Chain A
Amino acid sequence: MPFIRRTWTAIEADEWTKEDWIAIILSPLSYVLLTLGVALSLLLLWYGYVMLIVGIILTAVLHWVIDPKLKAISAEYEKKQQDYLYELEEKVRWKHFTREEE
């Protein structure tokens, strides 16, 4: 099995896996590098360009890693969403609480 999985069944995608943790680590790094990279590149500083390029690469890697999983989660969840919405309306009503307490 490859280190990064890019094909998911709906059941597997529901689990928290290393692909999620890679996204969790890469995402703040991308934000830091892109924020500083843009500002320092505008000042024509060489390390600004380096930060910007690394930030863009990390952003691409982040999406490459997490996108197949998000697609699988979304596709499966959308099938159940209508039922869940119906349940939500039942669950969040005040009468639910009073009935339970009684």
Chain B
Amino acid sequence: MNVTFTLLDWLWVALFLLLMIGSGVLFYRLGKRSESDFFLAGRGLPWWLPASSVYATHTATDTPMWITGVIYQHGMAGIWYTFFSAWAAISSFVSTRIFRRSLAYTQAEWNVVRFTGLGSELLRGWMAGWQFFMNMFVLGWVGIAMGKVCEFLFGWPTWIGLISFSLVCAIYVLAAGYWGVVMADFQQGIIAFLVIMIVSFWGIFVAGGPTGIIDKLAALDMMERINPFAFTGWWSGSFPAAWFVTMLIIAVLGGFGMGTSIDWYVEAQRIQSAKSVRDASYSIWWGTLLGLVRNSVWAVSILAFFVLFPGMTETADYEMGWFRLGFDYLPAGMLGFFFAAILAIHLSTISSHLNLGALYATRDLYQHYVNPKADEKKLVQVGRISTVILLLGSFFYGLMMEDITSWLIFALWIMAAGIWLPNILQVIWWRFNAWGYLSAWIANLGFSWLVVWILPELGVIPELLDYQQFWLLMLLGALVFIPVTYLTKPESMDHLVHYYVMSRPIGWWGPVRREAERRGLITPAGDLAGLAAELSRPDDAKRK
């Protein structure tokens, strides 16, 4: 499909790009003040700014393709694939609060706040390097998705879409750092949300409205497509209920931990940029809710696309469904506005990952290992250089993405499965130590290869469904990290007490709490009950 733009369409696009570059110019002075400004906007943002960034960042160019794919395939039940982001439900009031109080710049740095000694340093170095690579990979992944959209619309070679818009984005990220990211995200979030609503409702209208969609589904004898619980059985089929239960457990209970979702690493930056614990909690909760509501609207519009074009079998055809609703049916003059919104979706993700990857490179690698005495000016300079390296690396990844996608999806999967439980234990259990956590990462790497690829290939075990792999990898990992934890020393009590008083974690922290009470650093629970009773008494009773 090739789209022809009018002058008005190109004006929309030019106006939008100027607005974004303007964000960089406007906030240039704030961004260059310090490392804290360049990467966390000085830790002073009200909740709605990081919330809009959470929403905008997780609305990428490939998101509508992916959601279209699962809804077209499974009907409304496919919406549960998008529910992995619900880790934020519990996290907003548990791990977000704890992480914000730790003040760690990154999840890598958090390892040396929570743990101590050589184990914590190994964890920090590993996580920082891995996150630098992951951000480069995500940039390449999202960049090539933009390349495909431009190829689909204008017939351009994919590299043009990959490189050109990421370069524009880099201007305001290099100029203003996270200030530029978050201010542009706010505008991009509004534009993207509005246009997603307009295009989706337009598509629903074209399909005959809600009743038209249901009537056509009935005529196709596919009414189960509006049932969000239309599973293929408890254990079997392409969409078993056991998968659903596993997904709910991973998503919801994962909120007690840190890093149980790949999105956590991006949100960690937003959490620390909020001006208070309360602002951090609400930014994650409301930003995620906005994304879930967006998915719901998308889901209905994809049902509209399904009744307009039923029977597509090729993923490459139907995954562009939502884009087609916009480009096929919006009136002339609106196409440029739609494309500007696609750019908004694209740039918000690119800018966030450019700045986040640079944060790991600057704070956890350069400042930690190379030059601990670097001044603020130098750190901002290194932040900018890291941004350029990430950008260039992402072009390289983007252009070779077709070859490495399956490897990298595997890399994403291994961190989700066997590390899920340790990611929770690091928050809720005082005795879990750096060596236990490190052994979980290493064991998971080996077990994942065995369970997902090698053992099925050798015929030792059958090919397992993804939810079965999850439980097996979790069990195998626990057989390693629990003995390792008990066979190695706990973290030093001094370190744990300091961490406990500062972060006040939830869960099994009894020995640490008692030590903190003994040192007079926190009020004993019994005294608190007395204090509460005293406060609740009427004033005249207190006087007596």
Chain A residues contacting B279 (CB-CB under 8 Å) are 74
Q: In the complex, are the beta carbons of A70 and B118 less than 8 A apart?
A: no
> Given A24-B94, A30-B89: A11 and B83 within 8 A (CB)?
no
* A5 closest partner in B (C-beta): B532
* A38 closest partner in B (C-beta): B296
Q: In the complex, are the beta carbons of A91 and B112 less than 8 A apart?
A: yes
Q: Is B378 an interface residue (CB 8 A)?
A: no
Q: Is A16 an interface residue (CB 8 A)?
A: yes
Complex Cα distance, B97 from A77, in Å, reads 11
Q: Is B324 an interface residue (CB 8 A)?
A: no
Q: In the complex, are the beta carbons of A15 and B89 less than 8 A apart?
A: no
Smallest Cβ distance from A6 to chain B, in angstroms?
Answer: 12
For A74, give its contact among B210, B278, B506 (CB under 8 Å). Answer: B278
Chain B residues contacting A30 (CB-CB under 8 Å) are 89, 289
Q: In the complex, are the beta carbons of B86 and A31 less than 8 A apart?
A: yes
Smallest Cβ distance from B263 to chain A, in angstroms?
Answer: 14
**Within A73-99, which residues are at the interface with B (CB < 8 Å)?**
73-74, 77-78, 81, 84-85, 87-88, 91-95, 97
Chain B residues contacting A45 (CB-CB under 8 Å) are 226
Smallest Cβ distance from B34 to chain A, in angstroms?
Answer: 12
Q: Is B277 an interface residue (CB 8 A)?
A: yes
* A37 closest partner in B (C-beta): B296
Chain A residues contacting B93 (CB-CB under 8 Å) are 20, 23-24, 27, 66
Complex Cα distance, B300 from A44, in Å, reads 11
For A92, give its contact among B112, B228, B285, B299 (CB under 8 Å). Answer: B112
Complex Cα distance, B103 from A70, in Å, reads 17
Q: In the complex, are the beta carbons of A78 and B532 less than 8 A apart?
A: no
Q: Is A18 an interface residue (CB 8 A)?
A: no
Q: Is B222 an interface residue (CB 8 A)?
A: no
Q: Is A36 an interface residue (CB 8 A)?
A: yes
For B289, give its contact among A34, A43, A101 (CB under 8 Å). Answer: A34
Chain A residues contacting B532 (CB-CB under 8 Å) are 1, 12
User: By the criterion of a CB under 8 Å from any partner CB, how many residues of chain B are at the interface?
Assistant: 62
Q: In the complex, are the beta carbons of B531 and A9 less than 8 A apart?
A: yes
**Within B269-315, which residues are at the interface with A (CB < 8 Å)?**
276-279, 281, 285, 288-289, 292-293, 295-297, 299-300, 303
Q: In the complex, are the beta carbons of A27 and B92 less than 8 A apart?
A: yes
Chain B residues contacting A28 (CB-CB under 8 Å) are 86, 89-90, 252, 255
Chain B residues contacting A84 (CB-CB under 8 Å) are 103, 502
Chain A residues contacting B525 (CB-CB under 8 Å) are 15
Q: Is B213 an interface residue (CB 8 A)?
A: yes
Q: In the complex, are the beta carbons of A92 and B109 less than 8 A apart?
A: yes
Q: In the complex, are the beta carbons of B113 and A27 less than 8 A apart?
A: no
Complex Cα distance, B292 from A31, in Å, reads 8
Q: In the complex, are the beta carbons of A42 and B204 less than 8 A apart?
A: yes
For B300, give its contact among A16, A42, A67, A95 (CB under 8 Å). Answer: A42
* B274 closest partner in A (C-beta): A74
Chain B residues contacting A40 (CB-CB under 8 Å) are 76, 226, 228
The list of the 3 closest CB pairs from A to B, nearest first, reads: A74-B276, A39-B296, A38-B296
Give the B-binding residues of A (Cβ under 8 A): 1, 9, 11-12, 14-16, 20, 23-24, 27-28, 30-32, 34-36, 38-40, 42-45, 66-67, 70-71, 73-74, 77-78, 81, 84-85, 87-88, 91-95, 97, 100-101
Give the A-binding residues of B (Cβ under 8 A): 76, 79, 83, 86, 89-90, 92-94, 97, 101, 103-104, 109, 112-113, 116-118, 120-121, 204, 210-211, 213-214, 226, 228, 252, 255, 276-279, 281, 285, 288-289, 292-293, 295-297, 299-300, 303, 368-369, 372, 498, 502, 504, 506, 522-523, 525, 528, 531-533, 535-536
A–B pairs, 7, beta carbons within 8 Å: A15-B504, A32-B83, A39-B300, A40-B228, A42-B297, A95-B372, A100-B117
